[in-house]
Structure 1
Amino acid sequence: MKSLLPLLLCAVSLTACARAPDDASAAASPQAGQGLARAAAGSVDERAIRALQSINPRIEVDHVGKAPLPGFREAVVGGQMVYISDDGRYLLQGALFDVVEKKDLSQAGMAEVRRRLLATIPASERIVFAPADPDYTVSVFTDVECGYCRKLHQEIDEYNRLGIAVEYLAFPRMGPASEDFTKMVSVWCASDRRQALSAAKADLPVPKRDCTSPVARHYDIGQRVGLTGTPMIVTADGTQMPGYMPPADLRAALDRLAAEAGAAPAAAPSPSPARAPGSGGSS
């Protein structure tokens, strides 16, 4: 895990560094330049936020609340969980693991942040590949250049057949100044985004276009939800899946999460015969 302290000490926050300054959609975002966390005046949560901002006044705190560790509050900054002592003096960074329960306790707070941040992205900004009546919907931060993003898209028909709707968000992993970023802006500005995304992932030419696109804002949100690589699959409850997952494995994982949450998962369709790579996702 990368160290957060140097980022806290910089002149600007991690998410401000990641944002493309000339993208109008980023400037228009209600979350631009601020975090999601709010705290009552004089509360221990406010003390934690003040402690973080004493290191860097411009950091964005997306979550603050009671930590599973006695005497500490938890906070999410730049997509990472930190723990601040109730007196505001000490800061710990990293996962908090319950040895008895065999559980990473930091994930609940991260899941809440992912849910809240993803809820700020309207349906009109997502590129959706979905069956008529999906059992599950996942958000996928994708890049048109990465191999596993392309592999996932080659199998998009099978994800859909298994009852999984895929809603793509943009994360050009090479950054705002890259050709990758420009290509993804062209995809999101295309009249047929689905066709343009499929073409880009197949190394086919995509006409260069420019518009007020959401790509910079998606990139910023990806940073804030803890993205470290693409594709990043996030479930409706904010759970982050471990990178690329084959369709049947993702369906099984979603069924397990539904069972743990007390919901009865729908019966999964039977596996289909293997298909040649690249046969799906060309709509």
Structure 2
Amino acid sequence: MTLARKLLAAALGATFLASFHADAGEAEIRKNLAARIPQFAKIDEISKSPMPGVFEVRINGAEIFYTDADGNYLLQGNLIDVKARKNLTEARVEKLSQVAFDKLPLNDAFKIVRGNGKRKLAVFEDPNCGYCKHFERDLTNVDNVTVYLFLYPVLGPDSGVKSRDIWCSKDRAKSWTDWMTSEVKPQTAASGCDTAAIQRNVEFGRKYNITGTPTLIFSDGTRTPGAIPAAQVEKQLTAAAN
């Protein structure tokens, strides 16, 4: 065997061993954490963190923890790169939470079209959210936009009831707007109405770390939490279009 072939064989062997140890380490972490903490029975991903000897453990879509190679210790909090002055955990969660607009489950939303509707905006909202009501009143000042409204009842059982009634109404957009801007309650939904889309919205929000309402997603993937004013919505719609 030539020297080049020996070196190649050694390199491949080292790669295989490293991969083997990584897989074994991940299996050990999964086994130990699942056995000791039921919350970790289902782990989305385990990967090496930038800190030597520390592994990132991700559950519930974008919930980050850190552990040692054996899964004996667990940390929850922010990992800071002090040299770069960067919050690595925050940056990681932000990346995991990104949603491409064309990947949104738009069939589980209903449309509110204003003007020519050329610009696009997706919003996750709870019908009992005071900030959402303020946002909706202000949003009536934004024209030439199609809003994809995702009902996202996270503030209690009554939010689920109102979301069901709005989703099951003949004119969802009108029922939603009447309630959010004028406090006109939607009619009680008929029995047998399929509300699976609402539950899928909640599951989608949990997966992508949508923790508050309203949450806005623009056509360029930009995500903005909170009841921002119409002027800022206009600014971001223009930026997204460009």
Same fold (TM over 0.5): yes
What per-residue deviation string (whole Å, max 9, x for no partner) do you get for residues 58-93 of structure 1?
644344434333333323334532122333222211
Distance 1:85 1:222, change over 3 A: same
Residue 66 of structure 2: aligned partner: 83
Residue 67 of structure 1: aligned partner: 49
Distance 1:255 1:99 in 2: 36
Distance 1:253 1:104 in 2: 25
Does residue 127 of structure 1 match 2:113?
Answer: no
Distance 1:242 1:57, change over 3 A: closer
How many matched pairs? 213
Does residue 169 of structure 1 match 2:150?
Answer: yes
Q: 2:118 is aligned with what amino acid?
A: D
Q: 1:140 is aligned with what amino acid?
A: V
Assess if the C-alpha contact under 8 Å between 1:172 and 1:184 holds in 2: yes
Q: Which consecutive unaligned segments of at least 5 residues does structure 2 have?
A: 1-21
SS at match of 2:227: coil
TM-score, normalised with respect to structure 2: 0.68
Distance 1:68 1:238 in 2: 27
Residue 215 of structure 1: aligned partner: 198
Tell me by how many angstroms 1:142 deviates.
0.5
Tell me by how many angstroms 1:212 deviates.
1.9
Q: Which consecutive unaligned segments of at least 5 residues does structure 1 have?
A: 1-40, 259-264, 267-283
Q: Which moved more, 1:83-92 or 1:112-121?
A: 112-121
Assess if the C-alpha contact under 8 Å between 2:212 and 2:226 holds in 1: yes
Distance 2:125 2:185 in 1: 18
Q: 2:87 is aligned with what amino acid?
A: D
TM-score, normalised with respect to structure 1: 0.60
Tell me by how many angstroms 1:246 deviates.
1.6
Q: Considering fraction of residues, name the structure with more helix.
A: 2
Percent identical residues: 26
Tell me by how many angstroms 1:219 deviates.
2.1
Does residue 182 of structure 1 match 2:136?
Answer: no
Assess if the C-alpha contact under 8 Å between 2:98 and 2:208 holds in 1: no
Distance 1:246 1:49, change over 3 A: farther
The equivalences for 1:46-65 within 5 A come to 46-54=27-35, 55-56=37-38, 59-65=41-47
Distance 1:118 1:126, change over 3 A: same
The equivalences for 1:100-111 within 5 A come to 100-111=83-94
Higher relative contact order (CA 8 A, sep 6+): 1
Residue 23 of structure 2: aligned partner: 42
Distance 1:143 1:104, change over 3 A: same
Tell me which structure has the larger Cα radius of gyration.
2
